[in-house]
Chains A and B, each alone.
Chain A
Amino acid sequence: GAVVSQHPSRVICKSGTSVKIECRSLDFQATTMFWYRQFPKQSLMLMATSNEGSKATYEQGVEKDKFLINHASLTLSTLTVTSAHPEDSSFYICSARQGPNTEAFFGQGTRLTVV
C-alpha cells in the first residue's frame, strides 16, 4: 500500500522559534497533499491543501503567514510553523494523494509542543 511518512514524529520547540514538519510520499508521487491539525480530544481539522508547484490553498481562519507550506517536489511537502506559541501545540497530520481520482493516505502525525 501507499506509504506516507512524517518527520519528526515529535518535536519540542521554544516559544518564538520556527519549526518545520516534513511529509513524504515514499512509494508514489503526490500531486496533492493535505495538512490537518488535531488538538487533544478533538477531531482533525483541515488547514490547507498543497499542490505540487503551486501555492497552497488555506482554509478559512488559518494564517498563511504563520503556517508556511511548501510543496516543491512530488514526494515532499513541508509545513513550517513560524514564531510558534504554546497555543500552536497540537498534532499535525498530513495526507497525500497521487492524482485527482485517487484516495489520500495519511502520515503518522507529528506532535508539536511549544514551551
Chain B
Amino acid sequence: GESVGLHLPTLSVQEGDNSIINCAYSNSASDYFIWYKQESGKGPQFIIDIRSNMDKRQGQRVTVLLNKTVKHLSLQIAATQPGDSAVYFCAENVGAGGTSYGKLTFGQGTILTVHP
C-alpha cells in the first residue's frame, strides 16, 4: 500500500537531546527497511537500513529498531545536532535481494527541527 501524508508530523528537540522518529509500515511482506534524511530541495540521503531478520541495528549516532509484530520502525538519533534538522522518511522494500530491490514504498515522513 501507499503511505502519503498531506501534513507531515513534526518533532522539535533541543541540541544534545536524543530524538526518536517513528514509522508504521504497511506491508507485512516487506523484508528490507531504510531510513532516509531529506534536506530541502535535495534527494533522499541514506542513513541506515535493516533487514527483516533483525530487530535492531546501530550506526554512528543512529539506531534503527524494527518490530515486525506491529509493523513499526523507529529511528533513534543520539545527541541531536542542528545539522540533523531535515525531513526523515522510512521506506520499505518487498523482495529485497531480488528484482524488486530498490523499489521502495515511502512512509509519510517526519520533520525534525533541532534548536541550538
A residues bordering B, Cβ < 8 Å? 6, 32, 34, 36, 41-46, 49, 91, 93, 95, 97, 100-109, 111
On chain B, the residues within 8 Å of A111 by CB distance are 41
Check B42–A43 contact: CB distance below 8 A: no
| Inter-chain contact A41/B6, CB cutoff 8 Å | yes
Q: Is the CB of A44 within 8 A of B106?
A: yes
B37-55: contact bitstring with A at CB < 8 Å (1 yes, 0 no)? Answer: 0000111111001000000
Chain B interface residue count: which class?
Answer: 20 to 34
Contacts beyond the supplied A104-B104, A107-B43: 4 A-B pairs with Cβ under 8 Å:
A41-B8, A43-B108, A100-B98, A106-B36
Q: Is the interface of A mostly helix, strand, loop or mixed?
A: strand
Min CB–CB distance A115 → chain B (angstroms): 19
Residues of B within 8 A of A103 (CB): 46, 49, 101-102
Chain B residue with the shortest CB-CB distance to A42: B4
Chain B 73-107, CB within 8 Å of chain A: the 1/0 string? 00000000000000001010000011101111111
